[in-house]
Amino acid sequence: MPDNIEYLPGGVSGDLTNSLSQNTFIEVEHFQLCKHGQNAPGDVFLSQKNPSDGRVITALSDGLGSGIKAGVLATLTATMAAKFISCNIPIRRASEIIMDTLPVCSERGISYATFTLVDITPDASVKIMEYDNPPYTFIRKETILEPSKKATAFERRDKSTGPKNDTRVLYSYFKAQSGDRLIFFSDGVSQAGMGTKPHPFGWTTAKAREFAIESVREKPEISARELAHSIVQRASQIDLYKPKDDISCGVIYFREPRDMLVLTGPPVHPESDKEIANIFSSFIGKKVVSGGTTAAIISRELNQQIKVNMKSFDKNIPPWSEMEGADMVTEGIITLGAVQAMLDNRSEVEAHAGGRDAASRMIDLLLDSDRIMFIVGTKINEAHQDPTMPVELEIRRNVIKRIASLLKEKYLKEVQIRYF
């Protein structure tokens, strides 16, 4: 492996113009809103990619009620489910353990948490286990399909604590194809607006499915992130923007990968300027140049002008600029530091979605991409070594490493870094 290339788990080596895995990418995203008046969600969404075998494991759990207590029980359930499956415990055995572990409400006689668990192997084999959540929606070629499901009834070992109602877990299995989508949500979606004149029985799963398929037909390339957001926002609208329950939606989208290049920092050796410019011009996908010196190098080597976009002015983040061939050009370390801080807090990401400032726009580009390549120049910028500068202005290499790690671990992106 060349000394100046770093591959985070999930990235692969190859030609730098478009070098990551050519397989169909599995985009996993979600969006959620808390019940009106609550500060903590009672629904929990977890997703992870096993570094050992490349499986993508996703869990959505809905705790009974809302608030912190519901969130704790949902977290326990989702974490157990994801952990059992990642450790290769058979899915039926995993469900038995979970069902025996979940506490039961003494008044209602039902478990304190529901769950939907999705296990996807690198060859696109999909296993799904559902307990008491609204049924998932499977879309293929702009059509809703109904996979066959096997229902299994469970009895607790300690029958004195067992639910009064029958406990049924549904299992399904299929091979996914490029373009397929899986949509699953908590009952905050299906029951939105319940009791109102337009929706006496709630929005219902059927109506939510209709909304999802219409969204896909109107915009066939809609990302998992955007689709999850639109479904939750529609449910919130039906609840008159005061959700009566936690509203959560997860979307898994099997599609051709979307690539992105982030070019930042001047190289140590000036003779590398031309090579970096060639990488930039030949890359197919979204392209961002971050850093004034870096932008000046690309502008000079490719004979392109840079124009500052003053409409993107923000008191904390320098404005971004425009250059032919680039989706955006930004200032360097301040903007990258803001990107890192936002990525570390998903609520910040959602709060700034669609924002006009440079950091918000870069995050939107990053999260709408799947395979992200960082080209990092390592020439020391003396301005960042000034002891009077704020502590958070870290060396560019460290900031990029932290951004890359967050993208890989929290957002399941494939990441590659090359240093010059």
Q: State residue 58's pLDDT score.
A: 95
Residue among 171, 235, 237 at smallest CA distance from 205? 235
pLDDT of residue 4: 44
Q: What's the confidence (pLDDT) of residue 270?
A: 84
No. of helices (H) and no. of strands (E), the chain: 11, 19
Q: Which residue has the higher pLDDT, 165 or 305?
A: 305
Is the distance from CB of 345 to CB of 355 less than 8 angstroms? no
Least confident of 64-68, 184-188, 267-271, 308-312: 308-312
Residue 139 confidence (pLDDT): 96
In this prediction, residue 157 carries a pLDDT of 59
Q: What per-residue confidence (pLDDT) applies to 349? A: 83
Mean pLDDT of 386-413: 77
CB atoms within 10 A of CB 345: 12
- pLDDT of 392 > 50? The answer is no
pLDDT tens by residue, 150-185: 988 766 555 555 455 556 889 999 999 999 999 999
H-helix segments, 200-269:
205-218, 224-238
**Residues 307-319 pLDDT 10s:** 988 776 677 888 8
DSSP character at residue 11: B
pLDDT for the residue numbered 106: 56
Residues 6 or more apart in contact with residue 282 via CB below 8 angstroms = 17
pTM of the predicted protein model: 0.83
**Section 327-341 average pLDDT:** 92
Instruction: Report DSSP state, residue 312.
Output: G
Delineate the domains of the chain, giving CATH numbers in brackets: 5-20+258-419 (no CATH), 25-255 (3.60.40.10)
What mean pLDDT is predicted for residues 191-205? 94
In the chain, what percentage of residues exceed pLDDT 90? Answer: 57
